[in-house]
Amino acid sequence: MTFSNPAPAAVDTAAARRRRRADGRRTLNSNAPSHRGDARLAWILIAPAGIGFLVFAVYPTIRGVYFSFTDYHLLSAPQWIGFANFIEMFQDQTFWASVLVTVYFVVIAVSLTLIISILTAAVLHRVTKSTAVRGLIILPFLISGVVAATVWSWMLDAQLGIVNEAIRALGGQGIQFLTSRQWAIPSLAFIQVWKNMGYTSIIIFAGMQTIPASIYEAGRIDGANERQMFFRLTLPLLRPILALVLVLNVIGAFQVFDIVSVATKNGGPANASNVLQMYIYQKGFGQFDFGYASTMSLALFVILIIITFLQMRLLRANESDNA
Amino acid sequence: MTTATATATGKLVLPAATTRKRRRPASPGRVIAWVYLTAIILITLFPFYWMLRSAFSNNYAMIADPTSPWPVGFTLGPFERVLGLATTQQSLAEGGSGASVPILHYLGNSVVYASLSTACMVFFSLIAAYAFSRLQWRGREFVFSLFLAALMVPAILTLLPNFVLVKELGLLNTFAGMILPTGLFSAFNIFFLRQFMLGLSTEIEEAALLDGAGRLRVLFGLTIPMASGPIITLSILGFIGQWNDYFWPLLVTSDASVQPLTLGLAVFKQSSPQSQPDWAGLMAATIVAALPMLILFMVFGKRIVNSIGFSGLK
């Protein structure tokens, strides 16, 4: 008796433990009743983000669309005026000039950024995998647009800037980089390229590293030279990533503000660099015409959606030629 | 058959590859590649050098000798000016404007703004990501896809209405007004952390739950420590973004008491006289603004580089 006693007890506890463990497993199953506590906790955990989402993303989006159909000068309540703002916008010379200036900026900045970044990524991929080198070229990404614009304002200064000193030393004529109508946008685009090319290169470089070496080996066996492999293998295989960096750069460039605000003093000279975001800001916060500013924001949003959509379609971003 | 070709190609390729490698240093393509890379690095780094060189120069002397590669009339004056350590006479003597710029004060505001908003953003994303990846509840996928849709809406559409809202809440010129819109909700961070948690083995967490630990204890004691890698990455990227943020603080602050350094620097730059700006002082101020980022870069450089590369691969 005394000998057999501990045995059943041991069996009992083992069985109980097994049962408890089984119960525990069941709590991880969504059908179990004890799982109901999860839902309450889940809503508590997503509450801050959910409130932020509703209050600072959904509500302002709806409200922004509403404002664009109103006459709203911040001090009195918005007055519904239908499409009046849109009609005004279509007839507003400054708006169209601003669209042109922005597109000009985007085209220069994005095409240069992409060409330089693809080249840089390809070169990095071929000659060095050094993280230090990649670290150096993303430095401009870490500093603010305000800092970048301030430094380049000094370097591109018409009288004393080192760039103009160098041009003169080489026998050229000094250029009014940021103070002439002709050069303001190209100069701003150059600052944008300087700031973004390293960042974009790193993303493209990371994409290149995912291309298996065997593909290049196969290409080499088939007698392809370096250039053919770059255009026939690397670029097509990179298409999804190229689409991504293209979209990111276009969206970023369309909303350029800080470098314009600092380097050409709010869109100067004489509106030559009055990009859309600057015009919206001046309408809203210079003249407190919030209705009209919202209408232009909505227009910029629609432009961005259309461009993004077209780019994704043209580049068939979802499929690389790999598949 | 296939293996035979594979080994055959392997044999074919290997010698070719090694001869290529040996020939590499001489190949003109490689020389051009290095020349190009050097040029890119120089263009990238030169402005940083010019910043330093100008910030240690006497502004008057520098204007007389704009091409010297070294600081002209080496002085700490520009830093003393922007840090408010120089008297008006001293600053005028070195070509400063004489007006005081409370850069240190702006710096403090930037530290508060960037660290608080980053901490909020990462923490709230973290607990939301836990709910989306570990808890079973009705509507989970639906709410998550709603959150993701927010990634599609560019800031431009929400900035003006958010300004109006912050104004209505009476939060203009407060840190709360600056932080709330970005601090509470970040679709990207939630997405990033959820993906990470879904890829993490749940065995340890389940074991802890079986041992009777509560969900919250598991979240804070196990899940968060296990996610420390992506948490650090997101914190660094968030901090960089917030530190450099310009447009939103510009909208909701008009009072220097809460304005971050980007605004202070812009004011300093925009208010410099057209004829003879204090370039040396401006460069000293940009160094003060960029220095925290450069320190962050020295400590976390490799992590930053890798996380940027990764952001393209998702």
Structural domain contains residue A11? no
Answer yes or no: do A224 and A79 share one domain: no
Decide which of A85, A116, A132 is a domain's last residue: A85
Answer yes or no: do A29 and A158 share one domain: no
pLDDT at A11: 41
Calpha distance A133→B308 (Å, rounded): 14
Q: Which residues of chain B make contact with A169, given a CB cutoff of 8 A?
A: 67
Structural domain contains residue A282? yes
- Our count of domains for chain A comes to 2
Q: Please choose, from the candidates A190, A185, A192, the residue with its C-alpha nearest in 3D space to the C-alpha of residue A101.
A: A185
Interface of A with B in 83-102 (CB under 8 A): none
Question: Can you say how many angstroms the Cα of residue B9 is from the centroid of all Cα atoms in its chain?
Answer: 46
Decide which of A58, A85, A112 is a domain's last residue: A85
Interface of A with B in 141-200 (CB under 8 A): 141-155, 157, 160-162, 165, 169, 194, 197-199
Answer yes or no: do A74 and A127 share one domain: no
Structural domain contains residue A119? yes
**Å from A8 to nearest chain B CA?**
24
Calpha distance A177→A188 (Å, rounded): 9
Domain ranges of chain B: 18-100+272-300, 103-258
Structural domain boundaries enclosing A61:
25-85
Structural domain contains residue A199? yes
Q: Do B147 and A53 touch (CB under 8 A)?
A: yes
Output the six-digit token pair for A142.
Answer: 């870490």
Answer yes or no: do A130 and A47 share one domain: no
pLDDT at A2: 34
pLDDT at A319: 59
pLDDT at A18: 47
pLDDT at A320: 56
Decide which of A85, A101, A129 is a domain's last residue: A85
Answer yes or no: do A32 and A64 share one domain: yes
Answer yes or no: do A96 and A168 share one domain: yes
Answer yes or no: do A151 and A192 share one domain: yes
Closest residue, chain A, to B67 (C-alpha): A162
Q: Do B30 and A150 touch (CB under 8 A)?
A: no
pLDDT at B100: 64
pLDDT tens by residue, B210-252: 888 888 888 888 889 988 888 998 999 899 999 999 999 999 9
Torsion of CA B294, B300, B302, B307, to 10 degrees: -100
Answer yes or no: do A268 and A156 share one domain: yes
CATH of the domain at A116: 1.10.3720.10
Structural domain contains residue A111? yes
Q: Which residues of chain B make contact with A218, given a CB cutoff of 8 A?
A: 9
Structural domain contains residue A307? yes
φ, ψ dihedrals at A70, nearest 5°:
-125, 165
**Å from A64 to nearest chain B CA?**
6
Name which of B67, B209, B247 is nearest A162 (Cβ-Cβ): B67
Who wins on pLDDT, B5 or A155? Answer: A155
Q: Which residues of chain B make contact with A51, given a CB cutoff of 8 A?
A: 184-185
Name which of A147, A151, A255 is nearest B154 (Cβ-Cβ): A255
C-alpha radius of gyration, chain B, whole number: 26
State the average pLDDT over residues B161-167.
Answer: 94
Residue B115 pLDDT greater than 90, yes or no: yes
Answer yes or no: do A207 and A77 share one domain: no
Calpha distance A119→B36 (Å, rounded): 9
Answer yes or no: do A32 and A120 share one domain: no
Angle between helix B228-243 and B187-199 (nearest 10): 170
Answer yes or no: do A35 and A119 share one domain: no
State the average pLDDT over residues B169-189.
Answer: 92
The pLDDT confidence band at residue B151, using thresholds 50, 70 and 90, is confident
Calpha distance B195→A59 (Å, rounded): 27
The pLDDT confidence band at residue B25, using thresholds 50, 70 and 90, is low
Q: Do A220 and B16 touch (CB under 8 A)?
A: yes
Answer yes or no: do A112 and A63 share one domain: no
Closest residue, chain A, to B156 (C-alpha): A297
Q: Which residues of chain A make contact with B9, given a CB cutoff of 8 A?
A: 217-218, 221
Structural domain contains residue A179? yes
Question: Can you say how many angstroms the Cα of residue A72 is from the centroid of all Cα atoms in its chain?
Answer: 30
Strand partners, A70: A80
Structural domain contains residue A3? no
Mean pLDDT score across all residues of chain B: 83
Q: What architecture does CATH give domain B103-258?
A: Orthogonal Bundle (1.10)
Q: Please choose, from the candidates B182, B313, B304, B151, the residue with its C-alpha nearest in 3D space to the C-alpha of residue B234.
A: B304
State the average pLDDT over residues B264-275.
Answer: 82
The residues of chain A scoring below 50 in pLDDT are 1-34, 323
